[in-house]
Amino acid sequence: MSKFDFDLFVIGAGSGGVRAARMAAAMGVRVGIAEERYLGGTCVNVGCVPKKLYVYASQYAESFSEAAGFGLTTQGTNFDWPTLRDNKTKEISRLNEIYRNLLVNSGCTLMDGRAVISGPQSVQVGDKTFSAERILVAVGGWPFVPDIPGAEHIISSNEVFDLETFPKRVIVVGGGYIAIEFAGIFAGLGCDTHLVHRGALFLKGFDQEVREFTAQEVAKKGVKLRFNTEIASIEKHSDGRLKVVFIDGQTELADQVMYATGRVPKTEGLGLETVGVALANNGAISVNEQYQTSIPSIYAVGDVIDRVQLTPVALAEGMALVRSLYGKGSPPVDYELIPTAVFSQPNIGTVGLTEEDAIKRYPQLDVYRSEFRSMKHTLSGSEERTLMKLLVDRSNDKVVGVHMVGADAGEIIQGIAVALKAGATKATFDATIGIHPTAAEEFVTMREPSRSY
């Protein structure tokens, strides 16, 4: 008999934690898992899933408008926020129950409550303490909201999905993908939307041309962009409206102010410092290549280690860890060529290097670029345009980056990511027959570089 209550105790039932717990339990490992908030973590409850549902909702009004060019007319539309909000809540509740069943049926011991590390091999949940040979921390991240006068009036991505009433006028603050996505959601649902960012342009770290093109297209959708400024203070009026004062002294009135200014690892109060787990300056847990912390019996995966904050990455890390601990070993997670999408309007899909980074790594770089108005919009009347880019290392013809801004970019880039992972060259793209008529076929019909380095 083991001297421990559990072989593995997982703190946090989000994407990485649930996947690791289920896999380990399937291998015969005695697994305990605790979650203090909601099963499925950020992605299922206040992230990817509800956000994508709201993105779908926000696209309908534009689609109804565009339908007139195809001979379909309506007598006007009415948006009912409680219907969307409550239907979303029902769906999330259904997913929560699925996660609960997956964990319990896999053999895990699930505990509803906050878990705190009380020793290198012990965890306290409520008034009970459990011993574990190994502990895995997978608690994810938490929205960062700056401490400014009136900060109590700010909402984050945690609260935005369940507002009591839908705002008529909103200010979204931030320059990352969450800010861009919610600006599009609010605008698409009929809200007067302002996007404020302290930098000169949003989406830092993305391809520069993609950033500039996206700003152009987002503005076409009615989002008012305000760069190079910050909010100094927020004051609530007696009628409930918020007076927003910017650092240059200008003011705006809004019904809601949402901050999407980044997320920080949710490590506070976990007992990590008590047992000596090393943390980075931002609170992220420091781990080695095996996801092991400075305390050999404690591991961490997902957003809490702040490597790549994406749900599929957390899943991959959880699986890699369990295989290495309890299976026949596992190759390390490959952080190269991770595809990603921004569900802005229009979408962004990207995999591989930006043009700016590719130039530094590959001095002989060819850039293939195409910009066009999609076939649909020749009748819809929309002025939305699509951008596609291929970056090719001329020395060996290898495709090192692919970027797209346009409808269904995420769906298209997923398949292309497989090709890049397999080592596709420009000749591979050229030899592939396109599917006609689609926007995606443009990726296999770009013959001459737009520019070369």
Tell me which residues are annotated as active site: 436
Residue 213, classed as helix, strand or coil, is: helix
9 secondary structure, DSSP code: E
Residue 310, classed as helix, strand or coil, is: coil
Half-sphere exposure of 427 (CA within 13 A, CB side): 6
> Are the C-beta atoms of 266 and 148 separated by less than 8 Å?
no
What angle separates helix 48-67 from helix 81-106, to the nearest 10 degrees?
140
Strand 251-254: give its sheet, edge to edge.
231-236, 242-246, 251-254
* Residue recorded with tokens 């904050």: 309
Distances (CA, A) of 294 to 118, 287, 300: 16, 7, 11
Contacts of 115 (CB under 8 A, 6+ apart): 9, 11, 34, 36, 123, 124, 125, 270
Query: Which residues does residue 259 pair with via DSSP β-bridges, in sequence order?
Result: 173
In DSSP notation, 69-101 reads GGT---S-----HHHHHHHHHHHHHHHHHHHHH
Other Cβ atoms closer than 10 A to 302: 34
* Residue recorded with tokens 């910050």: 230
* Residue recorded with tokens 């699930």: 110
405 secondary structure, DSSP code: E
> Are the C-beta atoms of 12 and 35 separated by less than 8 Å?
yes
Query: Which residues does residue 111 pair with via DSSP β-bridges, in sequence order?
Result: 34
CA distance 202 to 169: 21
